[in-house]
Amino acid sequence: MDKLIITGGEQLNGEVRISGAKNSALPILAATLLASEPVTVCNLPHLHDITTMLELLRRMGVDLVIDEKLNVEIDASTIDKLVAPYELVKTMRASILVLGPMVAHFGEAEVSLPGGCAIGSRPVDLHIQGLRAMGAEVVVENGYIHAKTNGRLKGARVFFDTVTVTGTENILMAATLAEGQSVIENAAREPEVVDLAECLIAMGADISGHGTDTIVVNGVEKLHGCRFPVVADRIETGTYLAAVAATGGKIKAKNTNPKILDAVLQKLEEAGAKITCGEDWIELDMEGRRPKAVNVTTAPYPAFPTDMQAQFSAMNAVSEGVSILKETIFENRFMHMQEMIRMGAKINIDGNTAVVEGVEKLQAAPVMATDLRASASLVIAALVAEGDTVIDRIYHIDRGYECIEEKLQLLGARIKRVPS
C-alpha cells in the first residue's frame, strides 16, 4: 500500500490538464451494454474504478479493444454471462449501473448488492422500485439482485422520493429500450447524468428533459454504435482550483468545462480568487493572497457539490476569518476534519455542521485517508502545512484522481509516492 509524502509551504503555479469524469465514464461504460453494435468511449480517465468496470464487462464476455490513445471499443453482442459478481461489485459500488441495461437489452440480470460505504448509506431500493414499475420481476436473495422480464420492459412513470444519481442513470438506461414512454420525476440533474443522456442519444435513444428534474424517454427497439468523449471531471477541476487557492497561487485548468462549475467558481471568487474562463479552460489567480473564509452548504446539483466540501474545508482551515460548512447529502462526511485537527486546524463539529476558524499555517502530521474526497482534502492541508506530512491509505485517492502527484509536481508541489 502506497503513501504520499508532501513537504508543504510551496505556492502552486502553472497549468494542469483535467481528465475525463469518472462519474460520467462509469455509467457510459455500462450503457454500452444497450447497443447492438460496438460503441467507442473516449477521454476515459486512467483510474482503478474504470479498470474494474472494464474487467466486469470482460467477465461477462463483452469484447473490448483498447487503442493507443486509450479509447475503448466495446461490443456487447458477445456477452455470455448476465452476472455481476460480488468480488467486483464490492470494490466499486457503481457496478450496480449494469443492472438496468442488462434487463432492458437481454431480459435478465444478476447483480451483487454493493457493500457498505464509509461516507454513509446509499440504498439501491430506488433502482429496484423503478425496474418493477417497468414490469421487471425483481427478487433480492443471498446478497444478489435477480431481475428478469418476459419480453421488453414497459414504459412507466418513475418518481424518486429522494434525488438519486445512480438511480436516475439506471432507470434512464433501462427506459431507452422499453416499450412506450417513460417519465422519470425528481430526476438527478447532475452534468454526469446529462452526459450519459447525450451518449444514449448518440446511440439512437429518444430522450428529452435531461438536466431538469423530469426526464422523458420514448423507448426504441434498438440502439446502434457511436463514438463518444466523456465530459471533463468537474470535481477534479474544483480540487486543483481549491488547492492552488489555498496556497495563494495561480493556475490554468485546461480541457475542462466552466459551465458545470458555477457554484464552485462563485465560492472561489468569494474567497478572493480572480477567475477567468474560456470555452474549455479556467484560470484562477489569488495574487499571492490568503483565501477569505467562505460558508458552504452542500445540496444536489446545481448547488454546491458534496464532493467539494472536504477540499473547501481544507482551504477554509488556512483562510482569513470563520466559516460554516453544512453537509446535507451524506451523514458521515466530516471524517477528514479529525485528521486536519491533528494538523492544527481549528474546527468545531456539531452533527452535520462544522465551524472552521482559519489559522495562518497548519503543521505536518501523519494522517490517514478515509474516503476519496477526504484524501484530496488532506493533500490540500499537507500542501499548506509546515514540514513533511505523510498520508496513508491513498488507494482511496487513486480511485478518483489520475496521476495526482505528477499533476501537483507540475504546479510546483513537493510531493512523492512511496511504498508503505
Cβ atoms of 237 and 18 within 8 Å: the answer is: yes
Block residue for cell numbers 448518440: 202
Of 377, 244, 382, which is closest to residue 314 (Cα–Cα)? 377
* Cα→Cα distances 259→63, 101, 232, 265, 345, Å: 35, 29, 11, 10, 33
* Cα→Cα distances 204→78, 132, 133, 222, 223, Å: 20, 25, 24, 8, 5
Helical residues (DSSP H) of 289-389, grouped into ranges: 309-317, 335-342, 372-383
Strand ranges inside 113-241, DSSP E: 137-141, 144-148, 157-159, 181-185, 206-208, 214-218, 227-229
H or E segment at 195?
helix 191-202
- DSSP 8-class letter at 222: -
42, 117, 226, 277: the active-site residue = 117
Q: For residue 290, what is its C-alpha cell?
A: 490568503
d(CA 382, CA 366): 10
Strand ranges inside 163-285, DSSP E: 181-185, 206-208, 214-218, 227-229, 250-254, 274-277, 281-285
Of 9, 13, 81, which is closest to residue 250 (Cα–Cα)? 13
CA atoms within 13 A on the CB side of 50: 24
Strand ranges inside 76-209, DSSP E: 83-84, 108-112, 137-141, 144-148, 157-159, 181-185, 206-208
CB neighbours of residue 330 within 10 Å? 19
- The yes-or-no answer on residue 199 being catalytic is no
Q: Maximum distance among all alpha carbons in the chain? A: 65
Of 17, 48, 16, 24, which is closest to residue 231 (Cα–Cα)? 24
Cβ atoms of 273 and 264 within 8 Å: the answer is: no
d(CA 129, CA 257): 34
d(CA 335, CA 390): 17
Where in the sequence numbering do the catalytic residues fall? 117
